[in-house]
Amino acid sequence: MTPLILGIISICCYIISTVLLIKDAVKNKSGTLSIILAWLAVCLHFSYTFSIFQQLENFNFSLFNTASLISSLVAFLLLLATLRNPVEKLGLIVFPLATLALLVDLLYPEKAHAIHISSWQMGVHILSSIIAFSLLNIAALQALLLAIQERQLRKRPIKRLIQTLPSLQTMESLLFQMIGTGILFLTVSLASGFIFIEDLFAQHLVHKTILSIVAWITFTCLLIGRMKYGWRGQTAVKWTLAGFILLMLAYFGSKLVLELVLQRV
């Protein structure tokens, strides 16, 4: 199948899966068909990305294609998490975002920005960066849902969607698991960058490096605060969102300016 057809079918599966998740939330139950369709959507999304790779004989790291790749990985990691934890309701946010990213990539094809991965060291750096961002993306979404859940539990009546979520304690535990794993991959990304990239503070990399380091410090402080002072609730939410915003600016800030504003790659 062509990339266009793969993308369209993937979008349809994402949409149907989201609709079924909404239906399950309204009926206060957990269904399997929505997750099966989500797996199909992610597999087709990966196939779309691989077909683009075959056409270019390399990875395309243009803004929209990168956003599409990361959104598919976020959806994939979420589905893996659902195998052990009841976090499928996060799909109500993740799957529409993946749909939007893939749709924009299909509608507005950009000039290819291929990056040749010449060594396994560079591959480790790029892969760990993408995985770290994806995991911390899920953590940020988890933090938002946790904030909404905490606020709604103080009100009566409690909304049906909130009733389908795990307990606050479970949600917080899952949040810090995601952050801890994300920090691990972010550490690998930064360490491999310092070791294997000749000038990590070159003009076109300095903002990415500094913002990524500040994000790493932010998330690390949050984990230390959790262990030493028992940080939780709104404090954890604020620190998580602050760290993710820094990381998002590091990953997408320059791409947004260079490719959309300055029309450069």
Q: How many CB atoms lie within 10 A of CB 104?
A: 16
Residue 117 main-chain phi, psi, to 5 deg: -85, 100
What is the per-residue pLDDT for 25?
80
What is the per-residue pLDDT for 204?
59
Closest to 248 (Cα-Cα) out of 35, 36, 71, 54: 71
101 vs 113 pLDDT, higher one: 101
pLDDT, tens only, 137-184: 999 988 988 888 888 777 766 566 666 677 788 888 888 999 999 999
Q: Is the pLDDT of residue 63 over 80?
A: no
Closest to 47 (Cα-Cα) out of 86, 102, 85: 102
Amino acid at 90: L
pLDDT, tens only, 49-61: 888 877 766 666 6
pLDDT, tens only, 196-233: 776 655 545 677 888 899 999 999 999 999 999 888 88
Q: Measure the CA angle with vertex 256, ends 202 and 134; round to 5°.
A: 85
Distance of CA 236 to the CA centre of its chain: 18
pLDDT, tens only, 239-257: 999 999 999 888 776 555 5
Q: How far apart, in whole angstroms, are the C-alpha atoms of residue 12 and residue 99?
A: 8
Q: Range with the lowest mean pLDDT among 24-38, 51-65, 74-88?
A: 51-65
Question: Which residues make beta-bridge pairs with 47?
Answer: none
When pLDDT is cut at 50, 70 and 90, the band that residue 125 belongs to is: confident
Going from N- to C-terminal start, the domains of the chain cover 1-116, 119-265
Residue 59 main-chain phi, psi, to 5 deg: -80, 140
